[in-house]
Structure 1
Amino acid sequence: MPHSILPGFRLALACTLLYLGLIVLLPLAALLWQASGLGFERFVAVTTSERALAAFRITVLCAAGATVFNAVYGLALAWVLARYDFPGKRLLDALVDVPFALPTAVAGVALTALFAANGWYGAVLAPLGVEVAYTPLGIMAAMSFTSIPFVTRSVQPVLEDLSTEVEEAAETLGAGHWRIFVSVVFPAIFPAFLAGCSLAFARSLGEFGAVIFIAGNQPFRTEIAALLTFIRLEEYDYQAAAGIATVMLAAAFVMLLVTNAIQLWSLRYQRAGR
Structure 2
Amino acid sequence: MTATVSRWREPSILPGFGLALGITLTALSLIVLIPLAALFLKAASAGPADIWAVATSPRTLAALRLSFLGALFAAAVNAVFGLILAWVLVRYEFPGRRLIDAAVDLPFALPTAVAGIALAAIYAPNGWVGGLLAPYDIKVAYTPLGVMVALIFIGLPFVVRTVQPVLEELPADIEEAAALLGASRWRTVFQVLLPPVLPALMTGFVLAFARAVGEYGSVIFIAGNVPMVSEIAPLLIVIRLEQFDYAGAAVVATLMLLLSFALILLVNLVQARARRRFGNV
Q: Distance in 2 between matches of 1:268 and 1:65?
A: 27
Superposed counterparts of 1:11-160, under 5 Å: 13-160=21-168
* SS of aligned partner of 1:121: helix
Q: Distance in 2 between matches of 1:98 and 1:236?
A: 36
From 230, 249, 254, the equivalent of 1:241 is 249
Segments of 5+ residues of structure 2 without an aligned counterpart are 1-8
What residue is the counterpart of 1:206 in the other structure? 214
Post-superposition offset of 1:11? 5.9
Post-superposition offset of 1:13? 4.7
Q: Which amino acid aligns with 1:269?
A: R
What residue is the counterpart of 2:262 in the other structure? 254
Q: Distance in 2 between matches of 1:270 and 1:87?
A: 35
Length-normalised TM-score, structure 1: 0.94
Q: Distance in 2 between matches of 1:128 and 1:159?
A: 40
Post-superposition offset of 1:19? 2.6
* SS of aligned partner of 2:99: helix
Post-superposition offset of 1:152? 0.7
Query: Is structure 2 residue 238 aligned with structure 1 residue 230?
Result: yes
Q: Distance in 2 between matches of 1:170 and 1:61?
A: 38
Q: Which amino acid aligns with 2:34?
A: L
Q: Distance in 1 between matches of 2:33 and 2:157?
A: 26
Q: Distance in 1 between matches of 2:124 and 2:274?
A: 43
Task: Identify if the C-alpha distance between structure 1 residues 51 and 85 changes in structure 2 by more than 3 Å, giving closer, same or farther.
Answer: same
Post-superposition offset of 1:255? 1.3
Deviation string for 1:26-77 (max 9, x for gaps)?
Answer: 2111111111112223212111101111111111222222122212211111
Post-superposition offset of 1:8? 7.5
Q: Distance in 2 between matches of 1:69 and 1:100?
A: 18
Deviation string for 1:141-169 (max 9, x for gaps)?
Answer: 11111111111111111111112222222
Segments of 5+ residues of structure 1 without an aligned counterpart are none
Post-superposition offset of 1:5? 4.0
Fraction of identical pairs, as percent: 55
Query: Is structure 2 residue 251 aligned with structure 1 residue 263?
Result: no
Deviation string for 1:70-91 (max 9, x for gaps)?
Answer: 1221111111111111222222
Q: Distance in 1 between matches of 2:79 and 2:209?
A: 10
Q: Distance in 2 between matches of 1:76 and 1:254?
A: 28
How many matched pairs?
Answer: 271
Q: Which amino acid aligns with 2:153?
A: F
Length-normalised TM-score, structure 2: 0.92
Q: Which amino acid aligns with 2:117?
A: V
Q: Distance in 2 between matches of 1:161 and 1:8?
A: 34
From 179, 188, 201, the equivalent of 1:171 is 179
Q: Distance in 2 between matches of 1:44 and 1:250?
A: 15
From 173, 186, 196, the equivalent of 1:188 is 196
Deviates more, 1:211-220 or 1:80-89: 80-89
Deviates more, 1:151-160 or 1:64-73: 64-73
Q: Which amino acid aligns with 2:68?
A: V
What residue is the counterpart of 2:4 in the other structure? none
Q: Distance in 1 between matches of 2:90 and 2:25?
A: 36
Deviates more, 1:67-76 or 1:218-227: 67-76
* SS of aligned partner of 1:191: helix
